[in-house]
Amino acid sequence: MLAYNIHHVAIAVEDLDKAIAGFESRYNVTPISREIIEDQGVREAMIAIGGSHIQLLEPLSPESPVGRFLSRNGEGMHHLAFAVQDIEAALTHLKNSGARLIDETPRLGGGGHRIAFVHPAELAGTLVELVEVGNG
């Protein structure tokens, strides 16, 4: 697997609008996109920072994965996402190396990207997301 860039760092928040206002007032940055991803149970905003992004995630319900994360941990870093050119090749590499995958096949994520998650036990307790940014 060739992860050639950090695609984004995701932060779980209780109130998306409040978190956006904090980024705007403190760092003078605004979201480049906002969307609801029903199947993941989140409202999200992406903020461009240099060549990467901050993804703010607000749960749609307390039972969603991000909602459960917030109840256990409070607000803070949720996951680290690596950009990959070929997500199937990346997943094959990880599986062949014995990595524990949450998603063995890609699914649709924010911005229409194909994504997959790797279990936190594989990288110092950090949930990792793979984001396909181009094939070829």
Query: Domains of the chain, with CATH numbers?
Result: 3-132 (3.10.180.10)
- Average pLDDT of every residue of the chain: 93
| pTM (global) more than 0.85 | yes
Burial of 126 (0-12, 13-18, 19+ CB in 10 A): middle
Instruction: Using the structure block, give the residue that is written with the tokens 């995701």.
Output: 10
pLDDT at residue 1 is higher than 90: no
Please write the tens of the pLDDT for every residue from 51-88: 899 999 999 999 999 999 999 999 999 999 999 999 99
Q: What are the angstrom distances between the C-alpha of 9 and each of 45, 47, 127, 128?
A: 12, 10, 11, 10
Catalytic positions, please? 8, 44, 55, 79, 129
Helix, strand, or coil here: 83?
strand
